[in-house]
């Protein structure tokens, strides 16, 4: 199955909202990580979301090029081809794009989709994220409205954020913010709905204490009821049809009870990166330690080519990532719920 069409992506989100489950959205940086994600979704019989951050795109473009948008296009084109071999629906998404990256990152990706559509193909990505949490809500929504209009014209969904996700990711560090900045208010959620709903479909990353990165159990205090109260405020003013599609950022390391609670409040997408990074790297470390004399040419010896061939440990890394992502599918209740139907 090729990457989901815009209509199929909307159907995925509708099914998750109606069915009380959500999709893992995994950040990828290479063909190997894409393959691990596809393997996990296929084995779980779960549809899913593969996403690229600005840093991931820059890495994928190579150390000599270092271009975020170019690398993201390369990864997306690879995913379009690789996904053809699997019988689940996969949507492509871009992660946190701050205001300073709209022109060098988001705009070229929208142009790439525009060119594909002109050729009779679908958009390159099915959704993009604009993270305006670093500016005032007023400025955030002003920029979001313009981007959503452009996305809607291309049949692309825009994800927006109000409130800040804590921690550090791809060089963006919000770890020093006051605690109250980590929680979106019901008033914020109403403002977001009223500003964006007349323009087109959007996803909303409302924050409820989320933090990027690794942390010990109990170190992060999530308040999922913020999502409940915000949705209630929107529905009270605009009716049941106004319930928003919410996104859970910083899903790695989160308590299962918190994850499951958010599903009842409208979360349809949960980002996972830190945990899958570790699950990818851990088998590589094990391989190197267990085969150190073959991997290194010690004391003038020649080593063992089979052990230092990158394929020997990257295959293990791919499977490690896939196994962790399958747990995320179980946690989010998406396992076994693909809506893909063979033609």
The CA radius of gyration of the chain, in Å to the nearest whole number, is 20
Asked whether the CA dihedral 324, 94, 92, 29 is positive or negative, the reply is negative
What lies within 8 Å, CB to CB, of 243 at 6+ separation is 17, 231, 234, 235, 266
Q: Does the active-site annotation cover 95?
A: yes
C-alpha closest to that of 135 among 171, 173, 157, 164: 164
User: What is the C-alpha separation between 294 and 306, in angstroms, rounded?
Assistant: 8
Task: Give me the catalytic one of 14, 87, 95, 180.
Answer: 95
Hey, how many other C-beta atoms are within 10 angstroms of the C-beta on 305? 9
Residues 49-63 as b or e (16 or more Cβ within 10 Å = b): bbbbbbbbbbbbbee
d(CA 123, CA 21) in angstroms, rounded, equals 26
Active site residues: 95
């Amino acid at each position: 199955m090729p990457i989901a069409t815009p209509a199929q992506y909307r159907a995925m989100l509708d099914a998750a909202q109606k069915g009380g489950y959500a999709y893992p959205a995994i950040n990828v940086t290479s063909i190997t990580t894409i393959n691990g994600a596809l393997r996990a979704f296929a084995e779980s019989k779960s549809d899913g979301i593969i996403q690229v951050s600005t840093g991931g795109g820059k890495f994928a473009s190579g150390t000599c090029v270092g271009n975020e948008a170019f690398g993201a296009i390369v990864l997306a084109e690879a995913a379009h081809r690789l996904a053809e071999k699997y019988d689940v629906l996969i949507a492509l998404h871009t992660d946190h794009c701050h205001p300073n990256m709209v022109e060098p990152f988001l705009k070229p990706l929208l142009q790439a989709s525009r060119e594909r559509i002109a050729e009779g193909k679908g958009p390159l990505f099915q959704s993009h994220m604009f993270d305006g949490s670093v500016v005032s809500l007023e400025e955030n929504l002003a920029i979001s409205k313009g981007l959503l209009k452009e996305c809607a014209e291309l049949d692309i969904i825009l994800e927006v954020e109000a409130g800040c996700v804590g921690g550090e990711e791809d060089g963006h560090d919000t770890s020093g913010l006051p605690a109250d900045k980590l929680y979106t208010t019901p008033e914020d959620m109403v403002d977001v709905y009223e500003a964006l709903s007349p323009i087109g479909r959007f996803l909303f990353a409302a924050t409820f204490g989320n933090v990027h990165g690794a942390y010990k159990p109990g170190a992060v205090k999530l308040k999922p009821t913020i999502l409940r109260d915000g949705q209630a405020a929107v529905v009270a003013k605009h009716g049941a049809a106004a319930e928003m599609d919410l996104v859970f950022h910083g899903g790695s390391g989160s308590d299962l009870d918190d994850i499951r609670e958010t599903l009842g409040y409208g979360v349809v997408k949960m980002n996972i990166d830190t945990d899958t990074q570790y699950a990818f790297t851990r088998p590589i470390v094990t391989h190197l330690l267990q085969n150190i004399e073959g991997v290194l040419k010690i004391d003038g010896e020649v080593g063992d080519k089979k052990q230092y061939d990158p394929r020997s440990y990257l295959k293990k890394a791919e499977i490690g990532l896939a196994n962790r992502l399958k747990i995320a599918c179980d946690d989010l209740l998406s396992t076994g719920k693909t809506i893909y139907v063979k033609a």
